[in-house]
Chain A
Amino acid sequence: MDERAAYQRINLLIPVYAEEEIWEHAKQAGYGIEEEGIPYQLIQCQNPFEEALAASQRPGLGVALGISQTEGIGLFSRILKESLPVFCIKDPSRAQARILGKNGARIIKKSPFVDWEDRDA
């Protein structure tokens, strides 16, 4: 595979950046993305929100999730001009993490978002 093809393949997915301590939530977000039929990748890092914001601005699908113990879970997308998450939940349940993963995929599919406000674990 040439370098260009590899670059495109890597970027045609939704990256989920997460701290090790909150890895279960990252897995749930991934399942949400997977159920919607979009490829994803879980990446462990120290500053998930920064990484997710940067990833969402790069070429590719333009959607990324950041999950940290202190900041919660944030869904970033190139569709927003501001450097803010489309959604952010401070203290998410596992069910909410999965829904935010779904919503990330739904930005790409242009489907209405799933309401996460009333869902808990």
Chain B
Amino acid sequence: MKEYVAGVDIGNATTETALGELLDGKLLRCVSGIADTTGIKGTRDNIQGIIRSLKNASEKMNIDPEQIHLIRINEATPVIGDFAMETITETIITESTLIGHNPDTPGGIGIGIGRTIAFQDLLEAEEGQKVIVVVPDTVDFEMAARGINEAVQSGILVEGAILKNDDGVLVNNRLEKKIPILDEVEMIGKVPIGMECAVEVASPGGCIDLLSNPYGIATVFGLSPAETKQIVHIAKALIGNRSAVVIKTPAGEVKERKIPAGEILIQGKNRLYKAAVDRGAQEIMTIVSRVDEIQDVTGTKGTNVGGMLEKVRMEMANLTEQDYKTVFIKDIMAVDTIVPREVLGNLAREITMEKAVGIAAMVKTHKLHMKRLAEQLAEILHTRIEIGGVEGSMAVMGALTTPGTEKPLLVLDIGAGSTDACLMDEKGKTKPIHLAGAGNMVTMLISAELGLEDFKLAEDIKKYPLAKVESLYHIRYEDGSVEFFNEPLDSKLFARNIIVKPEGWKPVNSRKSMEKIRQVRKEAKEKVLIQNILRALRKVSLTGNINEFEHVVLVGGSSLDFELGNMVTDALSHYGIVSGKANVRSTEGPRNAVATGLLFAYLEERKHG
């Protein structure tokens, strides 16, 4: 008699099914099903996703899901990851002012130094006085130019101008004496009047030189060595700009404040380890690597990291209906990063690059909950549900259906929330491990480093290659290749960077170049995924030596990433390891490994009675 058995793998992002048609315990054929995971992995909310995935597979087999005799679910000890960004420096301006922004089209060229004066008071300035005129948006460019020309004629030395409107070039073209003009200053009302000020505009394609140099600013304002030390952060925030204004006010100051970032407390088997977040990711990870088996991780109360770790714990406790006190963080991963942040006290949305540490945490919850999930599913489908083998072991079983593989085999599963590795030796004994930090953390880094507010956009940047729309008829891909089109492209995409998604293009609304976006994407994958893979290999290894592995197979949705496979192959080739994507059942590629493993494990069990 024919029977139908399904292996179901609930992942962080997708729920996959391997449905087998069996005759007397022998597999006749096998199909796959896939659906998005509903809710957080390992919780009751998963049931809808499981049913959809089973339906998807059943349709391919031409049966009803109710005809399935047995469903085996992975023993997904829910491994759930979360992440947070801890900014450890913050630039604050109190009263004193810098405007270091890059309008598209500033006017004039050069450096102007003088006292700020409101446009309506310009003609009241004294003859021979050096001034920088501040022009509000109620004054149009013709009026502004006329006013400045009149002032110059009456002997006032107008050295530069700050405009709210995007009129820098228009004003400059109408001036008898050319001056540097900075335009598009949003909060013009905040520019202090009667203060010493320097305006600098570089030639097109160039960068400012004087105001991005601390000694340059010191020269302009005659600063003492102690004062020069204070303005280093102004100079830092202005590096790379085409235009800038610095205004000195007597009471003002600019400082880089170190935010109390707190400590991470890691409870090992025998002792407590402490890692200061503001010392950077490398130090945190060195300490983490010293801990033999992490029992729990907490953070200093009242700090961001403390709050973030407790939030993860609380969420997991709620989702899995466990007692808060019994939820333990079993691993963390820290990554150094630099993020653009708006300067506090800014005038034109100036940004400065602040140091930050990205932290991912991972929680393991009880298996008990899977039992409840299985019971509920059995009630809905009127089918026998079994909780199958450990996820890692099942992934190896599935990966072993890849042509050319044999035991011993190490399988790597890079998910959204965690990186899992499992080693199966010649005798079939497995050693699974779970590590914090995976796809979602890469997305967070991309989002933070590019200053994107849209998390979905960062997710797309991570997943798909980039291109630039160079004309209304052609695009250039990030690898340099060009594609032409017969029909004109959407004008909204003209001269923009786009993400080449299979279902259509998506513009990247950022002024960053394609090369920069690509660099950030690759570095984020390198910092999180490659480093985590190496960490996983060291942990799985008996000797702590990566070189002992010969074959490493990648499974899971993340290995479908368009560049990760090559990055992993490249990184592991340095250790003499052969690595590549799995091809489960010769047809599924890296997907469906755990589901297939669950089905094949059942077949093995049947064979051996």
Query: Is the beta-carbon distance between A112 and B105 smaller than 8 angstroms?
Result: no
Q: Chain A, 3-36, contact with B by CB distance < 8 Å: what is the 0/1 string?
A: 0000000000000000000000000000100111
Contacts of A35 in B (CB 8 A): 105, 166-170
Complex: A87 Cα to B105 Cα, angstroms? 22
Task: Please determine whether B495 and A112 come into contact, CB atoms closer than 8 angstroms.
Answer: yes
Cα–Cα, bound, A106→B21 (Å): 62
Assembly CA distance A36 to B168 (angstroms): 10
In the assembled complex, the CB of B131 is this many whole angstroms from the nearest CB of chain A, namely 24
Interchain nearest-CB distance for A51 vs B (Å): 22
Among the stretches B94-102, B264-272, B322-330, B466-474, the one at the interface with A is: B466-474
Give the contacts of A86-121 with B (CB-CB under 8 A): 86-87, 106-107, 110-113, 115
- Tell which of A80, A106, A107 touches B488, judged by Cβ atoms closer than 8 Å: A80
B184 to A: closest C-beta gap in Å = 11
CB neighbours (8 Å) of A113 from chain B are 491-492, 494-495
Question: Which residues of the other chain, A, contact B473 by a CB distance below 8 angstroms?
Answer: 79, 81
Q: Give the CA-CA distance A37 to B108 in the complex, in Å.
A: 11
- Whole-angstrom CA separation of A36 from B470 in the bound complex: 19
Residues of B contacting A115 with CB < 8 Å? 492
The docked-state distance in angstroms from the alpha carbon of A36 to that of B401 is 62
Q: Total interface residues on A, using CB and 8 Å?
A: 18
CB-contact partner of B491 in A81, A86, A110, under 8 A? A86
Q: A80-B488, A81-B488, A82-B488 are in contact. Are A31 and B495 (CB under 8 A)?
A: no
B104 near A111: Cβ-Cβ < 8 Å: yes
- What residues on A are CB-neighbors of B104 within 8 Å? 36, 111
Closest to B497 in A: A112
How far, in whole Å, are A93 and B104 apart by their CA atoms in the complex? 23
Q: Tell me if A's interface is mostly helix, strand, loop or mixed.
A: loop
- Chain B residue at minimum C-beta to C-beta distance from A79: B472
Which residues of chain B have C-beta atoms less than 8 A from A106's C-beta?
495
Contact B169 A37 (CB under 8 A): yes
Minimum distance in angstroms from A10 CB to a CB of chain B: 20
Contact B470 A110 (CB under 8 A): yes
Interface status of B173 (Cβ within 8 A of chain A): yes
- Contacting residues, chain A, for B491 (C-beta < 8 A): 86-87, 113
Residues from chain A with Cβ under 8 Å of B170 in the complex: 31, 34-35
- Contact mask B197-223 → A, CB, 8 Å, 1/0? 000000010000000000000000000
Interface residues as binary, A44-73 with B (CB distance below 8 Å gives 1, 0 otherwise): 000000000000000000000000000000
> For residue A81, which residues in chain B have a CB less than 8 angstroms away from its CB?
473, 488
Say whether, besides A31-B141, A35-B105, A106-B495, A80 and B169 are in contact (CB < 8 Å). no
B169 touches A34 (CB 8 A): yes
Give residues of chain B (34-55) contacting chain A, Cβ–Cβ below 8 Å: none
Cα separation A111 to B141 with both chains bound (whole Å) = 23
How many angstroms between the C-alpha atoms of A17 and B141 in the bound complex?
Answer: 23
Of all chain A residues, the one with the shortest Cβ separation from B493 is: A112
Closest to A115 in B: B492
Enumerate B477-491 residues with CB–CB distance to A below 8 Å.
Answer: 488, 491
Docked complex: B258-286 residues within 8 A CB-CB of A: none
A111 to B470, CA, bound (A): 9
The answer on a CB contact under 8 Å between A36 and B472 is no
The contact of A37 among B105, B471, B496, by CB within 8 Å, is B105
By a CB distance below 8 angstroms, the chain B residues around A79 are 471-473
CA distance A66 to B158 in the complex (A): 39
CB-defined contacts of A82 to chain B, threshold 8 Å? 488
Asked, given contacts A34-B173, A86-B491, whether A80 binds B472 with beta carbons under 8 Å apart, the answer is yes
Chain A residue at minimal CB-CB distance from B169: A35
Question: Within the assembled complex, what's the spacing in Å between the Cα atoms of A113 and B469?
Answer: 12
Residues of A close to B141: CB separation below 8 A: 31
Report the separation of the CA atoms of residues A86 and B492 in the bound assembly, to the nearest whole angstrom.
Answer: 11
Q: Which residue of A lies closest to B183 (CB)?
A: A35
User: Digit string of B152-185 for contact with A (CB within 8 Å is 1, else 0)?
Assistant: 0000000000000011111001000000000000
The interface residues of chain A lying within 8 Å CB-to-CB of B492 are 113, 115
The answer on a CB contact under 8 Å between A112 and B496 is yes
Measured in the bound complex, the distance between the Cα atoms of B104 and A80 in whole Å is: 25
Bound state CA distance, A110 and B204, in angstroms? Answer: 15
- Counting chain A CB atoms within 10 Å of each CB, the highest count among B104, B141, B166 belongs to B104
Beyond A34-B170, A113-B494, 11 additional contacts (C-beta under 8 Å) are A31-B141, A34-B173, A35-B168, A36-B169, A37-B105, A37-B169, A37-B204, A79-B471, A86-B472, A107-B494, A113-B492
Q: Show 5 A/B contacts (Cβ-Cβ < 8 Å), sorted by A.
A: A35-B169, A80-B488, A86-B491, A112-B495, A113-B495
Which residues of A line the B interface, CB within 8 A? 31, 34-37, 79-82, 86-87, 106-107, 110-113, 115
A-B interface, 5 closest residue pairs, ranked by CB to CB distance from nearest: A112-B495, A35-B169, A110-B495, A112-B496, A79-B472
